Structure 1
Amino acid sequence: MEGSSLRHGQPILVLLVILQFITYIALSSTDAPFHSQRNIEYIKSSCSSTTYPRLCYRSLSVYASKINTSPRLLAHTALNVTLKASKSTSRLMAKISRIHGLRPRVAAAMADCVEVIGDSVDELQQSIGELGHIRSSNFALTISDIQTWVSAALTDEDTCMDGFSGKSMNGYAKRMVRKRIIKIAHLTSNALALINNYASTQSTLP
């Protein structure tokens, strides 16, 4: 008799559990999209002030939940995305530079590119490290250093492209370098703009 009452009670218990689960899902689904959409809109709005807003949004929107609406995290993420692309480009150029049969001028330009993009990677890493430890007490000095390093990284990328100027440099190496360097230069430019935005938000605080 007692076992029979338990069996009859089981469907009710299961139903209560299902209703609680549905309620939880419903609450989560109404809350999460709101926050997610707010974060996405923040990134889109911030990217609109960069030189390459589409690239900015495309490269950063996937990190919306991590960035939230923090200008520091936005700038930090932009630097990390740029660093990852720069490292990938540096590895590719090192491989191309070892190809046999490159014309002397192309080989020299590739060697220069490998060196300056290596410098760019170092400068981006320094910037990321400093931004991760920035404090209100040393904000002005630290953000100035970060801006200087990221600007230097952008200059290094331009220097790499300058080495391939002229029709005599046309060919596979130039096409591959140009494609990659343009992308990381645009990412670097966007990161610098977001760093400048972050700096301006702090300078307006009392």
Structure 2
Amino acid sequence: MASSAVSKQSYCHSLAILSTTLAFFCVAKTCLAENFKPQVESGDDFIKTSCGVTRYPDLCYEKLSAYADTIQDNPTQLANVSLSETLKNAESTLIMVQKLLKKRKLRPREADAIKECVETMKDSVDELQKSMLAMSDLEGPDFDMEMSNIQTWVSAALTDEDTCMDDSEENSIDGKVKDTIRSYIVTVAQLTSIALALINSIH
């Protein structure tokens, strides 16, 4: 009888030790899992890192960080948002230049230079629009061809913007008008450069 009691006591003691040991391993496993959990880069960090490959990282981050939740860590989405921001700025710049042409009393040479700028900005907007459309349908067997087209169009848009700046510098445009045009065009050209760099980063 006494032997049975001792045996039962030993059994209960062993069970308690086993339970404690299992509990310890469960806690240890949980701790290890937490400590070695893969670190997923946040959308904000991803944007900051990606903007580092561009010529204008500060402007890039300033314009795109607000879309961190949408972009997350997706390079295609990042390039798409960047292109969208560039297009919006190009369109507003085109409108501004058109208004200058209508509202200001310009000498013939000034008017011709600004008309040239309007035409090149129209081309830039058109090329960015085509790029946006192609970016919305990158999935499928034509990926490489579509990417090549997008890169060509965005590069052409950047060339058009540079041409507009060159025209305003080379012609005798009133200083205030020239500075206004240049301030807008410079920003658009920088945004276009950023978009092109981020598009080139897509694999």
TM-score tier after normalising by the smaller chain length:
0.7 to 0.9
Determine the C-alpha separation between the residues in 2 that align with 1:77 and 1:97.
31
1:76 partner amino acid: N
Contact preservation (8 Å) 2:121, 2:161: yes
1: CA distance, partners of 2:82 / 2:104: 36
Equivalent residue number for residue 196 of structure 2:
192
Contact persistence 1:94–1:114 (CA under 8 A): yes
Per the normalisation by structure 2, the TM-score is 0.78
Q: Which of these residues, 114, 119, 130, is aligned with residue 118 of structure 2?
A: 114
Shift of residue 170 of structure 1?
A: 4.3
- Cα deviation for residue 104 of structure 1 reads 1.6
- 2:142 aligned residue: 138
Structure 1 residue ranges, 4+ long, deviating more than 4 angstroms after superposition:
none
1:97 partner SS: helix
2:107 is equivalent to residue 94 of structure 1 = no
CA shift, 1:66, in A, is 0.6
For structure 1, which runs of at least 5 residues remain unmatched after alignment? 1-33
Structure 2 unmatched runs, 5+:
1-38
C-alpha contact (below 8 Å) 1:154/1:189 kept by paired residues: yes
Looking at structure 2, the residues matched to 40 and 53 of structure 1 have their Cα atoms a distance apart, in angstroms, of 13
Checking the alignment, whether the CA contact within 8 Å between 2:154 and 2:196 is kept in structure 1 is: yes
Residue 173 of structure 1: CA displacement? 1.4
**2:132 corresponds to which residue?**
128
Cα distance, 1:164 vs. partner? 1.3
d(CA) in 1 for partners of 2:123, 2:60: 23
Distance 1:167 1:115 in 2: 16
> 1:105-161 CA deviation, whole Å, 9 max, x = no partner?
111111111111011111001001001101241111110000000000000001101
For 1:193 and 1:159, locate their aligned partners in 2 and report how far apart those are by CA, in whole Å. 20
Q: Is the 8 A contact 1:106 1:173 kept in 2?
A: no
What root-mean-square deviation, in Å, do the aligned CA atoms of Structure 1 and Structure 2 show?
1.6
From the CA coordinates, give the structure whose radius of gyration is larger. Answer: 2
Supply the distance in 1 between the matched residues of 2:160 and 2:67 (Cα, whole angstroms).
Answer: 27
Identity among equivalent positions (%) equals: 46
Residue 157 (structure 1) aligned with residue 186 (structure 2): no
Which of 151, 175, 179 is the matching residue for 2:179? 175
